[in-house]
Structure 1
């Protein structure tokens, strides 16, 4: 009789564990590719950097930082 109860208990546990299977992982969300960044060169030192990070002067030239924009402006005056 004990063996029958043990077998029934094992079968019940196996059935419960089988029903608790984890769902498959969700597929990753595909992101649209970003367009490549426009690269510009500093008009003072020639450093190449993304346009979004550059400082633009009023005449359309790009600089790697505010200091180079000021230096270039002083030279022109």
Structure 2
């Protein structure tokens, strides 16, 4: 009987800790590269529409993402 009581108490504590952890505020990274799980955000090039890693992004003055300097120049010249 004591074993069942201890098992119920341990289960309740684990359940409370997990529910508290899941209801915690989700941190939004300041930059797309700053994710905690080792993955990196992908951005879409405004010129060629392909996806590329955010760490390789080239931005123009209006903060539009491009996959390369050449695509930024081609897009601006249009």
Q: TM-score, normalised by structure 1?
A: 0.50
Counterpart position of 1:5: none
Indicate the residue corresponding to 2:19 in structure 1: none
Shift >6 Å, 4+ stretches: none
Query: What do the CA deviations read for 1:5-62 (whole angstroms, capped 9, x no partner)?
Result: xxxxxxxxxxxxxxxxxxxxxxxxxxxx643211100000011011111111111111
Secondary structure, counterpart of 2:52 in structure 1: strand
For residues 52 and 40 of structure 1, the distance between their equivalents in structure 2, rounded to whole angstroms, comes to 9
Q: How many aligned positions are there?
A: 43
Higher radius of gyration, 1 or 2: 1
Find the aligned partners of 1:57 and 1:35 in 2 and give their Cα distance: 27
Aligned-residue Cα RMSD (Å) equals 1.4
Could you tell me which runs of 5 or more consecutive residues in structure 2 were left unpaired when the two chains were aligned. Answer: 1-35
Normalised by the length of structure 2, the TM-score is 0.50
Q: What secondary structure, in the 3-state scheme, does the structure 2 residue paired with 1:52 have?
A: helix
Counterparts of residues 33-72 of structure 1 (less than 5 Å): 34-72=37-75
